[in-house]
């Protein structure tokens, strides 16, 4: 495992009335890779074992979108507004083009950014996510996402259910990842973030005519779609749907894995992302 240093202190930048928190690391040369995190996550919810091999070969930027973690304001209740806020942050840094890795709700935001600002994105990775009006998870998933209270162990149990498979190998890798993340956590998201993101996901998930998926064909960027073989949060069928509809998309499905496949196989996932981003053939 690489020992690349991941910073623990944030930088801040003011843009359109919001003070955004972010951290940059990795190489100074190259197209920056901006990461959009999962439901309720802050920039400290990225597994350092994944970040380090990415940062060895490119500039990496993690950030808290509006209302999340160290960034002020209130989290909006639509994916469209979240994407607008993300674009505001990226533009504030003076960046003209970036690569994007969007995980879970972050992948939904990434799709919207690609539609709103086509020239801002060079390449995009969509991990464990779904298109608008995609295949919804089971009722149990919604019930657990909406659950209030509970012990710390309840939270860990829910996280393992959401992110990993029911095999010993998947759960062991998941617990190892969770320990790495816990070791770096200083800030959490508020209840306002949870409620706003739940509303945004519910709106995004509303059924629409099948012809609605044709909007995905307007995403002309090279796209790498990834998932575990059985994702209960963003059912893996969504990854096939994204790959089918986005003209220049390819798909990797990881065995014995679920929603958290990128944390279960951090170094392998990073190698796949690096190969995709560095390839001239895609």
C-beta neighbour count of 34 within 10 angstroms: 27
* Mean per-residue pLDDT over the chain, rounded: 94
Beta bridge partners, 23, equal: 62
Q: Which residues pair with 98 in a beta bridge?
A: 121
pTM over 0.85: yes
The owner of tokens 């220049």 is 248
> How many whole angstroms separate alpha carbon 50 and alpha carbon 25?
13
pLDDT in tens, 107-150: 999 999 999 999 999 999 999 999 999 999 888 887 777 776 67
Mean pLDDT, residues 158-162 taken together? 90
Higher-pLDDT residue of 132, 153: 132
Per-residue model confidence as pLDDT tens digits over 195-254: 999 999 999 999 988 788 888 999 999 999 999 999 999 999 999 999 999 999 999 999
Judge contact between 201 and 130, C-beta under 8 A. no
Helix (H) or strand (E) holding 169: helix 168-184
């Amino acid at each position: 495992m690489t020992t690349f240093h991941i910073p623990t202190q944030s930088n801040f930048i003011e843009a359109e009335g919001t003070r955004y928190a972010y951290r940059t690391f990795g190489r100074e040369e190259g197209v920056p890779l901006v990461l959009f995190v999962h439901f309720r996550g802050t920039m400290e919810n990225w597994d350092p074992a994944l970040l380090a091999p990415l940062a060895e070969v490119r500039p990496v930027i993690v950030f808290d979108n509006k209302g999340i973690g160290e960034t002020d304001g209130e989290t909006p209740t639509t994916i469209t507004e979240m994407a607008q806020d993300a674009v505001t942050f990226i533009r504030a840094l003076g960046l003209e083009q970036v690569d994007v890795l969007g995980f879970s709700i972050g992948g939904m935001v990434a799709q919207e950014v690609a539609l709103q600002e086509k020239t801002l994105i060079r390449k995009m990775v969509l991990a464990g996510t779904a298109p608008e009006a995609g295949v919804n998870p089971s009722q149990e998933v919604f019930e657990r996402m909406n659950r209030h209270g509970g012990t710390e162990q309840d939270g860990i149990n829910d996280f393992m259910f959401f992110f990993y498979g029911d095999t010993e190998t998947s759960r062991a890798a998941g617990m190892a990842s969770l320990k790495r993340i816990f070791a770096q956590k200083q800030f959490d998201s508020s209840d306002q973030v949870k409620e706003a993101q739940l509303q945004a996901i519910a709106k995004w998930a509303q059924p629409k005519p099948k012809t609605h998926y044709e909007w995905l064909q307007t995403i002309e960027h090279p796209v790498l779609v990834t998932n575990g073989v059985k994702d209960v949060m963003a059912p893996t069928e969504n990854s096939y749907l994204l790959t089918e509809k986005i003209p220049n998309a390819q798909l990797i499905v990881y065995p014995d894995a679920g929603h958290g496949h990128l944390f279960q196989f951090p170094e392998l996932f990073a190698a796949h992302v690096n190969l995709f981003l560095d390839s001239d053939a895609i």
